[in-house]
Structure 1
Amino acid sequence: MKYINLFAQELYAACDEKLGKEEIVQRIEKPKHEELGDYAFPCFDLARMKRETPKRIAANIASRIHSAHFEKVEAVGPYINVFLKKETVAYEVVRKILQEGNHYGTSNLGKGGAVTIDLSSPNIAKPFSMGHLRSTVIGNALALILEKSGYRPVRINHLGDWGTQFGKLITAYRKWGNEAQVRQNTIKELLALYIKFHEEADLTPSLLDDGRKAFKSLEEGDPDAVALWKWFREESLQEFNRIYQLMGITFDSTNGEAFYNDKMQCVVELLEEKELLTESQGAMVVEVDDHLPPCLIKKKDGATLYATRDLAAALYRYETYGFNQALYVVGNEQSLHFKQVFKVLKKMGYEWADQMHHITFGMMLKDGKKMSTRKGKVVLLEEVLKEAIALAKENINTKNPLLKNKQIIAEQIGVGAVMFHDLKNDRRNDIDFSLEDMLRVEGETGPYVQYTNARACSILRKGQFQSEKNSSIIVDKEAWPIITRLNEFPMAVDRAVKEYDPSQVAKYVLDLSRSFNKYYGQTRILDDKTHMNARLKLVSAVSIVLTEGLRLLGLHAPEEM
């Protein structure tokens, strides 16, 4: 960002303040071809303002730009292209990375402000499916990226531990459950019971009434129903925590839906006090605006809904954490729900509602269709992780059988492959589940980036790299693309924060890996002893940034593979 700002400062002074500095920064581009320079500024907007041709303005401004960091400034048609001084920039960038280590790219953008992040949120008594992977890894990566940018993330696993589905499950367990089998393999057996309930309900619709009655008894505190619910919840948490531990993900709160049962009446009373509740066909709603349907707060039978619960959760979280932002990492299909909730909070007079954001993401599809636990069309995340780990271990045994800590590294590679496959995609897009694509060790994959870092670490070991040794940086044609990539890391982090999009970091580490591997293929780093340590400085900087980039995505960076 430093060199973009330097360019912007020169442009600001040269274009007679027709554009503000921020406007100039936003317009600066990176040319598609290296021979056109390192940065470019299009003059079309200035041409409209000054009523001159873009070509003439570009030539005029280019002649007025002078900076010690620029090797050349030239006008090419309507563009002003600048070429940075390679030796100066290389020295500054690599020295900064070697000095700051994993703090490179860190900023104080958030100034310590709290950001609550609602992520993962699986339903208890159901297995952790691939459908929950997206919220989990996107939310976790956002927490790490926000933390690097000076925010204080609060990770909240808002468990789905309440609702009519538990009445259905209790009914199914009472009708067909075998306690010994359920205790031996709780989640698998509960899933089978849940699926059986819906299959039987298609034939005998009265089962649905039984499920509703069972949930009503749970709400009223029936000891037997409550005991079953607690058992289902406890067993589920144990299974979830095993998977979270494998993925290296932790939470600051696991308060689920049930936690807010005693807090919803307060929300209803507040809405009544503010005269926001109105009756609609026996139900109680809040009119949001002309463009959205009313937000349903209480059903005709008096039961509360998800919106009531989320309003209670928002009030609790603001009182507890005093958040600057509140993020909800939840699928695209819930967009209307969150628009309604945020609007209701704003109508209640809470200005902080403007800082609440629904971080949407597409669905994880299987054969182009949505996965469904109800119909048994589900891929279990733990099975995918185990298969990925097994394949990683098989590859290690084939290519590096003497590697130490094979199981640990296989887990880091296998789990990382699954997580990276998700995070490299724009979060808003649907992803079709493909185990084969996730586990590839070449191309745009996590193992490719991890292997690139392991290769860099191997070179550093063989060259006995000494970071404190006084040597310059060798900046030849092959090294310059790496220097420019390294310089862009803080900007990639900044984009990820502003767009709430971890794929900005994932795409960045892929680009850096490709640049380094090309350099490795063209340069005999260890052969020229005179310049070896100078080249190793660049290799070390690459390893530092790849390791930190992977960490921000929740992945490990093994030094050997």
Structure 2
Amino acid sequence: MYWRPVRDVLAELVSELSPEEIEQLLDTPPDPSLGDVAFPTFRLAKARRRPPAEIARETAEALAARGFSARADGGYVNVALPREAAVRDILRETAAPDFARFSWGAGKRVVIDMSSPNIAKPFGVGHLRSTVIGQAIRNLLLRAGYEVLRVNHIGDWGTQFGKLMAAYAMWGIPKGAPDKIRAYLELYVRFHEEAERRPELEDEGRRWFKRLEDGDPEARKLWRMFVDESLKEFMRIYDRLGVSFEYVLGESFYNDQIPGVLEEVRAKGLLEESEGAFVVRLGDDLPPALLLKSDGTTLYLTRDLATALYRKNVLGADLLLYVVGREQSLHFEQLRGVLRRMGYPWADAIVHVPFGLLRFGGKKLSTRRGRVIFLEEVLDEAKARALQILEEKSPQLADKEAVAEAIGVGAVIFGDLRQSRLHDVDFDMEEALSFEGETGPYVQYTYARAKGLFRRAGEPYEEALAAVPSDVRGIAGDRGWELLKLVAAYPRAVRKGIELYEPSAVARHILDVAKAFNRYYQEERILVEDAEERRAKLALVARVARVLADGLEVLGLKVLEEI
């Protein structure tokens, strides 16, 4: 970062904090008039048991004695950097191949559980969050040097299949269903509606699932049909989202491993009978973990034990991430708890990455009640609206269909990722597709605008990105400096995203960069006559484009050269 000289001197002055800790504390003051770098002294005040304002004054004086323009403001030390030297430092840093790249993950393998829709149910918008959050986290982890294996843990096992089989056996494929997946949905919904009036249907569903577990040929044939039809549907959606997987392993993949896992738990004296079922006690803080029902069927937790052991022992995971809704928090606490009791210290490498609900019109989505919105229909509508906008704004644009697809799909993805993953998202199509405001199309358009300057100038983008002009006065004014500082701060946003598994850190930052660039574009003439000033300004624009492109790629949006 451009504030490294300040950090290095502070490291000499402050023995209580390491250079890395100081780096994390340094920030940009909220008001540019205060300076370029802010150092909060509150941690020092606590360690030294002295007022923060006193320490800030002393630190500012010590920095001033080293040649810095520093002042104390309350508990903060604000430092103004020598502008032109700092500009050149930023240009050098942001031209480097390893800009916004880290190495602490090198040699470590992460297995990330993401998407994981259920077989025989439509790919609804409810699956969107795990898919796009997981993909963005994967892209972030790659920037820290990790090897990342994406696993799609398809929900192809469980009592819901018994219910669907029972429904299929009783009623067959509904007439008028547009495709088999929607037919399966209609059957599933009808089963739950009928079961409210006829509770004995639940027992019939359980009997069918037990037949499936026991290898009954009729049950297996029905199950295989459900799986094959569903996978065709899923892969079409993933192609549109730009998402792929290193492994697609359904819950059923682990069936033959479950007996061994249960035997291990039993041999270690952990499995206890409770009202006919079998549980593992997890102490006073957690309820017992139910591994085997009284009728002998297994549960999600049983299968996730086998899954975790496979990912650790066979896939070689150093870190196991589960991008799953926050309502499953207890499940993952129990999973870690059982593994700890089994004597596996790596249980702490299991990390639940929770997220909030996705709503359309304020409603949570439920397959049981049939209130499901098909993701493909949402993507189609987004593309159609984007195409309509392009017909009005850019009628001469080539490949409008492909551009509309990229903008429409990107709008849906960005509409999710720009908000903290823990927040509930109430999706608004019109807002998400706006070319103004905090949207994917806005960032995509800003990138295209920046790259368009190089076409107009007739100068190569790559040369401008590599350039570190000796004369930087043309971009050392307040507007250029504020934009450059945002560009330079991008690695911090990436680091935050990696450490917190939070793609919104990158989304929010590239929005800030896009807004600042558009202000700069409106207020400054970039393609000026003076060759040195023009060279400096294009060097700045190239770095803006680099940050926007990298941020869009992190989030899973396509980078468009022209809109």
Q: Which residue of 2 aligns with 1:512?
A: 513
Q: Which residue of 1 aligns with 2:8?
A: 9
The residue identity in structure 2 corresponding to 1:97 is: T
Determine what percentage of the aligned residue pairs are the same residue.
46
3-state DSSP class of the match of 1:478?
helix
Mapped to 2, the partners of 1:51 and 1:113 lie a distance apart of 40
Question: Aligned runs of 1:381-400 on 2, under 5 Å?
Answer: 381-400=375-394
Q: Which residue of 1 aligns with 2:168?
A: 173
In the TM superposition, what whole-angstrom CA distance separates every residue of 1:14-71 from its partner, at most 9, and x where no partner exists?
Answer: 24x2444444334333311111112212334434544554334323222222699x86
The residue identity in structure 2 corresponding to 1:496 is: G
Question: Aligned runs of 1:112-511 on 2, under 5 Å?
Answer: 112-178=107-173, 185-466=179-460, 467-468=462-463, 471=469, 472-473=471-472, 474-511=475-512
Mapped to 2, the partners of 1:44 and 1:162 lie a distance apart of 53
The residue identity in structure 2 corresponding to 1:292 is: L
3-state DSSP class of the match of 1:65?
helix
Give 5+ residue unaligned stretches, structure 1: none
Mapped to 2, the partners of 1:354 and 1:258 lie a distance apart of 25
Alignment pair present for 1:86 and 2:83: yes
For the 8 Å contact 1:456–1:540, the answer to whether it is kept is yes
Aligned-residue Cα RMSD (Å) equals: 2.0
The residue identity in structure 1 corresponding to 2:521 is: Y
For the 8 Å contact 1:267–1:312, the answer to whether it is kept is yes
In the TM superposition, what whole-angstrom CA distance separates every residue of 1:420-443 from its partner, at most 9, and x where no partner exists?
Answer: 010011111111232233222221
Mapped to 2, the partners of 1:265 and 1:51 lie a distance apart of 59
3-state DSSP class of the match of 2:62?
coil
Mapped to 1, the partners of 2:323 and 2:44 lie a distance apart of 40
The residue identity in structure 2 corresponding to 1:305 is: L
Mapped to 1, the partners of 2:413 and 2:16 lie a distance apart of 46
Q: Give the direction of change, closer, same or farther, for the CA distance of 1:427–1:189 in structure 2 (3 Å limit).
A: same
Mapped to 2, the partners of 1:419 and 1:376 lie a distance apart of 24
3-state DSSP class of the match of 1:479?
helix
Q: Which residue of 2 aligns with 1:104?
A: 99
| Offset of residue 99 of structure 1 | 4.4
> Which region of structure 1 is more displaced relative to structure 2, 205-214 or 395-404?
205-214
Q: Give the direction of change, closer, same or farther, for the CA distance of 1:171–1:31 in structure 2 (3 Å limit).
A: same
3-state DSSP class of the match of 2:122?
coil
Q: Give the direction of change, closer, same or farther, for the CA distance of 1:476–1:265 in structure 2 (3 Å limit).
A: same
Q: Which residue of 1 aligns with 2:41?
A: 43
Mapped to 1, the partners of 2:23 and 2:176 lie a distance apart of 64
The residue identity in structure 1 corresponding to 2:423 is: N
Mapped to 2, the partners of 1:326 and 1:150 lie a distance apart of 16
Report how many residues are paired: 555
| Offset of residue 133 of structure 1 | 0.5
Mapped to 2, the partners of 1:287 and 1:356 lie a distance apart of 19
Which of 549, 552, 555 aligns to 1:550? It is 552
Q: Which residue of 2 aligns with 1:55?
A: 53
In the TM superposition, what whole-angstrom CA distance separates every residue of 1:239-282 from its partner, at most 9, and x where no partner exists?
Answer: 11000000100001110111111111111111112111112222
Mapped to 1, the partners of 2:196 and 2:490 lie a distance apart of 55
The residue identity in structure 2 corresponding to 1:261 is: N
Give the TM-score normalised by structure 1.
0.94
Give 5+ residue unaligned stretches, structure 2: none
The residue identity in structure 2 corresponding to 1:538 is: L
The residue identity in structure 2 corresponding to 1:543 is: A
3-state DSSP class of the match of 1:64?
helix
Q: Give the direction of change, closer, same or farther, for the CA distance of 1:50–1:315 in structure 2 (3 Å limit).
A: closer
> Which region of structure 1 is more displaced relative to structure 2, 193-202 or 461-470?
461-470
Mapped to 1, the partners of 2:164 and 2:42 lie a distance apart of 64
Mapped to 2, the partners of 1:291 and 1:87 lie a distance apart of 58
For the 8 Å contact 2:321–2:353, the answer to whether it is kept is yes
For the 8 Å contact 2:254–2:307, the answer to whether it is kept is yes
Q: Which residue of 1 aligns with 2:25?
A: 27
The residue identity in structure 2 corresponding to 1:539 is: V
Mapped to 2, the partners of 1:26 and 1:361 lie a distance apart of 26
3-state DSSP class of the match of 2:228?
helix
The residue identity in structure 2 corresponding to 1:32 is: P
Stretches of 4+ moved more than 6 A in 1? 179-182
| Offset of residue 87 of structure 1 | 1.8
| Offset of residue 505 of structure 1 | 0.6
